[in-house]
Structure 1
Amino acid sequence: MTATHSAPSLPSSASSPAAPSAGTADGLPGRRRGRLPFSAWHLLLAPLCLLFAVPLIWLVLSSVMSDAEINRFPPALWPSGIHLDGYRYVVGNAMFPRWFANSLIVSVTAVVSNLVLGALGGYAFARMRFAGSKLLLGMMLATMAIPFQLTMIPTFLVMKRMGLIDTLGALIVPSLVTPFAVFLLRQFFLSLPRELEEAAWLDGCSRLRVLFRIVLPLSRPALSTVAVLTFLTTWNDLSWPLIAINHDTQYTLQLGLTTFQGQHHTRWSAVMAGNVLTVLPVLLAFLAAQKTFIQSITSSGLKG
């Protein structure tokens, strides 16, 4: 009698798919569990940001130190208390408020004029075709490559003929519109769809009405960028006010602060306080328009 041998039964786990291993109950590879909650680039960028912020931090700390602490060697790294003598000296004993107002007038006027005139010029180059438009655009952009040292004497002679030397008008007129503002706004206008403007034309809108009612509300990132960069350039300008202004009542903040440093170089707390008050408006302007600034830079230079 032959014996029948049954085939050995396979384990049930051999016929079923492998179960997730311990520690990967969600089916994801185990190596992803230790993933950083932020980009690895932040490990490099954070120390760099701190390094760039050290001068600004030191400036603020020095402005609330006493003169003895600033002049001490080795210098104190942290103030023993909040000393506002430097701020009181700047505001009370110098023409600092007048210089601040002069810089504010010149900078705000330059920002407004660049937004209006730059938008008009940029829209004309972006949407209107006229004889010599490309040549004129190229010549305008070529002026951006000319250094200021070559144009300051002709500009001074023009301002002198106009009778504006030693007035705020000599600082405002050359900054009414810049080639950069026209070019940046033109590039942004080119990225906007024409269909929006054509629909407005069919409704009977003029070009100016289309520009101010349709195009400009969509161009807030580019307008913010022009405003911030124009404000920074005008506010921090020292070379041209040094040439065009002679009387201290017409000084801008940068020019007045330079003179102030030369006259009161031993009062470092006052010098530091003046620098803090000078940097503060620029820092606030950039922080207020940071998002729109980045958005405009990434979208305005892609289409020619």
Structure 2
Amino acid sequence: MSATMTGRPPLDAVEPAPTPPPSRRGSTLRTAGQVALHAVLAVLAIAVLVPFGWMLVSSVKLDTEVFTVPINWIPDEFHWDNFTRIWSRIPLGTYLGNSLFLSVTITALQVLTGSFAAYGFAKVRFPGRDVLFLAYIATIAVPWQAYMVPQYIIMEKAGLVNTHLSLILLQAFSAFGVFLMRQYYLTIPDELSEAARLDGLSEYAIWYRIILPLSKPALASLALLTFVNTWNDYMGPFIYLTDNDLWTVQLGLRSFVGLYDAEYAMIMTGSVLSVLPILIVFLLGQRYFVRGIATSGLK
């Protein structure tokens, strides 16, 4: 018997029961929670930016005005000439060039070696693969100070002390980079590699032609992290570089520290100039960096 004959509407014509609106009290609580969360995040962001703001303000002060109590956030007179005088006080161009050379070279090598080793640990099956990977990653837990002296002795025996090559060789490989890239490679379906092998591609070709183009976010994340760490490195250049012409910008700023006094305004000016390359690199790779971290198991 049809629904028309029985006087009942067809099933598909029956409208679903309307969803009851959320209670006003629950909506108010959620809104209040979001406002409180954003307020806390805003306070934390300001707290993080306060030292950077103090550095910016101090870069246009006199040395006697840097550590005034309370802090004078708006100087009576802005000494913009600090940014021109610093270039004649120290060979800042040489220091920046050395930092840029080391950062770009080490970053390129870490991206190359890290991505290639991670491909082997993620996509190539061989006996003892997982054990070898765990043993390699465990080296992250070993502090650098534990093997700092043996490394220096090796570099000295090889005649590489006081050369940029010593820093490049020591930092060209990174267990963290291998871990980061492997975690991202695990998100790429194995069917792609298997299909490429059936088509006759070698492992090198699969890595270069298939895996790398799909790994831009992870590559950008590793490149950005490596560039920032190398640029800000102080202890490595301090230990291995003694010639002033080889110094990085972090070592060069030490020139303003004397035996009994320091030119704090010049130090702040140099610090501001040294931050600019990092800021530019981060702004250019921010989109890929966030995506790479979010998809590499490091959330």
Render the CA deviation track for 1:55-103: whole Å, top value 9, x for unaligned.
0011111112234543655542212344222222221220221111111
Alignment correspondent of 2:91: 95
Label 1:75 to 1:89 Cα distance change in 2 as closer, same or farther (>3 A): same
2:182 maps to 1:191: no
**Aligned residues of 1:102 and 1:252 also touching (Cα < 8 A):** yes
Compare 247-256 and 66-75 and name the one that shifted more: 66-75
2:226 maps to 1:230: yes
**Counterpart among 256, 259, 280 of residue 255 in structure 2:** 259
Taking the aligned partners of 1:52 and 1:165, their CA distance within structure 2 comes to 37
2:99 maps to 1:85: no
**Counterpart among 54, 58, 77 of residue 58 in structure 1:** 54
Q: CA deviation at 1:168?
A: 0.8
Give, as a single letter, the amino acid of the residue that structure 1 aligns with 2:57. Answer: L
**Aligned residues of 2:256 and 2:264 also touching (Cα < 8 A):** no
Identity of aligned residues (%): 38
Taking the aligned partners of 2:211 and 2:141, their CA distance within structure 1 comes to 29
Q: CA deviation at 1:38?
A: 9.8
2:178 maps to 1:175: no
Label 1:35 to 1:254 Cα distance change in 2 as closer, same or farther (>3 A): same
Label 1:34 to 1:298 Cα distance change in 2 as closer, same or farther (>3 A): closer
Label 1:263 to 1:217 Cα distance change in 2 as closer, same or farther (>3 A): farther
Q: CA deviation at 1:120?
A: 0.8
2:269 maps to 1:273: yes
Q: CA deviation at 1:296?
A: 2.3
Task: In structure 1, list runs of 5 or more residues that go unmatched.
Answer: 1-25
Alignment correspondent of 1:150: 146
Label 1:128 to 1:102 Cα distance change in 2 as closer, same or farther (>3 A): same
2:18 maps to 1:39: no
Render the CA deviation track for 1:133-178: whole Å, top value 9, x for unaligned.
2332122112111111111111111211222110111111101111
2:242 maps to 1:246: yes
2:159 maps to 1:163: yes
2:125 maps to 1:109: no
Q: Which has the larger radius of gyration?
A: 1
Q: CA deviation at 1:30?
A: 4.8
**Aligned residues of 1:59 and 1:276 also touching (Cα < 8 A):** yes
**Aligned residues of 2:161 and 2:240 also touching (Cα < 8 A):** yes
Q: Could you tell me the TM-score, scaled by structure 1's length?
A: 0.82
Taking the aligned partners of 2:238 and 2:62, their CA distance within structure 1 comes to 31
Taking the aligned partners of 2:83 and 2:176, their CA distance within structure 1 comes to 37
Instruction: Give secondary structure in 2 for the equivalent of 1:77.
Output: coil
Taking the aligned partners of 1:180 and 1:28, their CA distance within structure 2 comes to 47
**Aligned residues of 1:66 and 1:85 also touching (Cα < 8 A):** no
2:205 maps to 1:212: no
Task: In structure 2, list runs of 5 or more residues that go unmatched.
Answer: 1-19
Instruction: Give secondary structure in 2 for the equivalent of 1:243.
Output: helix
Instruction: Give secondary structure in 2 for the equivalent of 1:83.
Output: coil
Q: CA deviation at 1:214?
A: 1.4
**Aligned residues of 1:265 and 1:271 also touching (Cα < 8 A):** no
Compare 102-111 and 287-296 and name the one that shifted more: 287-296
CA RMSD in angstroms comes to 2.6
Taking the aligned partners of 1:37 and 1:297, their CA distance within structure 2 comes to 30
**Aligned residues of 1:85 and 1:269 also touching (Cα < 8 A):** no
**Aligned residues of 2:90 and 2:255 also touching (Cα < 8 A):** no
Q: How many residues align?
A: 277
Q: CA deviation at 1:201?
A: 2.8
Taking the aligned partners of 2:249 and 2:128, their CA distance within structure 1 comes to 41
Q: CA deviation at 1:203?
A: 3.1
Taking the aligned partners of 1:113 and 1:204, their CA distance within structure 2 comes to 28
Q: Could you tell me the TM-score, scaled by structure 2's length?
A: 0.83
**Aligned residues of 1:188 and 1:299 also touching (Cα < 8 A):** yes
Q: CA deviation at 1:272?
A: 0.8
Q: CA deviation at 1:225?
A: 1.3
Taking the aligned partners of 2:86 and 2:162, their CA distance within structure 1 comes to 24
Label 1:76 to 1:33 Cα distance change in 2 as closer, same or farther (>3 A): closer
